[in-house]
Amino acid sequence: MAPSGPGSSARRRCRRVLYWIPVVFISLLLGWSYYAYAIQLCIVSMENTGEQVVCLMAYHLLFAMFVWSYWKTIFTLPMNPSKEFHLSYSEKELLEREPRGEAHQEVLRRAAKDLPIYTRTMSGAIRYCDRCQLIKPDRCHHCSVCDKCILKMDHHCPWVNNCVGFSNYKFFLLFLAYSLLYCLFIAATDLQYFIKFWTNGLPDTQAKFHIMFLFFAAAMFSVSLSSLFGYHCWLVSKNKSTLEAFRSPVFRHGTDKNGFSLGFSKNMRQVFGDEKKYWLLPIFSSLGDGCSFPTCLVNQDPEQPSTPAGLNSTAKNPENHQFPAKPLRESQSHLLTDSQSWMESSTNAGKCKTDLISNPNLDF
């Protein structure tokens, strides 16, 4: 790697400043909306005291939750792979000596034999990051903006100037939810005054223009946020990230778009946690450590034909499954202790059969 000079360092600093522009824009817009709604609409334009009190109380609750979740999404640092996924000095030397090919992969296979990984590259090779010099855990990807490998990376969001991944995905979902509720509440309570604006029912003050633009902004953001929030709710229900929705993960047996899905309820718990009292609060409660995840793999030998009989024969002989020796950490294994199957029966209908991964080496 070429040494970085003063010029490249200055460019990096300039980029860091530019990356904050969307966050500053959202913050200024939020500050103006507070002034327009709380001051110009509630205090100046509303004549009914009861309506003022109710609207201000509900507004400040939504405003506080919006700001709290937005703050947590921005300033929660993305989690990176632990040290065990980094290559040792001797392994790095071996990789540098070996040309790209089977010998290169053999070094990576030896390094990854005790790691809890299922996924592979499209060619079936061990997923390795040359930039970070580590073996990528499942669902981990390298972010070109952050220049780091991010655990369970969903995407890099310019509106929060941060990578959305394992450590802050719950906060990002709550940010979308509360920002949508915030906009819907403003649009609903501002509607009658917006109509009065066009019927000349409002006094000719500056408040009328704040009321008009406030409604337009709230309605416009409500439409965009509802589609984005709905999309991420679908992702959570399927236990997918944005990256996995565009490119399905590849396992040892092949590509499986639902490889990490455990059924709706367990998918929800993996993001929001077991304790429902924390679900609506921007407090970290996601399950696991971000390095290993329970999987619901199609138990099929890739050498066998894709038939129901082939699936059944494979399911009866779990010893044929080429799974890692230690596929799950203790922090994730309790998802598998329920008497229920990994996939809910309604999810199984019309799909190929799936079985709970049975591994005698798991330490529950």
Per annotation, catalytic residue among 140, 157, 183, 291: 157
CB 181 within 8 Å of CB 189: no
Tokens of 12: 């990096």
CA distances from 317 to 69, 225, 326 (A): 47, 47, 19
Separation between Cα atoms, residue 255 and residue 243, nearest integer Å: 14
Angle at the Cα of 170 (from 68 to 233), degrees rounded to 5?
115
What is the length of the chain? 364
The values of phi and psi at residue 148, to 5°, are -145, 155
CB 66 within 8 Å of CB 175: yes
157 is catalytic: yes
What are the start-end ranges of the E strands in the chain? 128-129, 134-135, 141-143, 148-150, 155-157, 162-164, 250-251, 254-255
Separation between Cα atoms, residue 176 and residue 65, nearest integer Å: 11
Q: Measured in Å, how far apart are the chain's first and last C-alpha atoms? A: 44
CB 343 within 8 Å of CB 261: yes
Tokens of 110: 């030896």
Separation between Cα atoms, residue 126 and residue 136, nearest integer Å: 8
Angle at the Cα of 84 (from 79 to 87), degrees rounded to 5?
110
Question: Could you tell me which of 164, 163, 169 has the C-alpha nearest to residue 145?
Answer: 163
* Residues carrying an active site annotation: 157
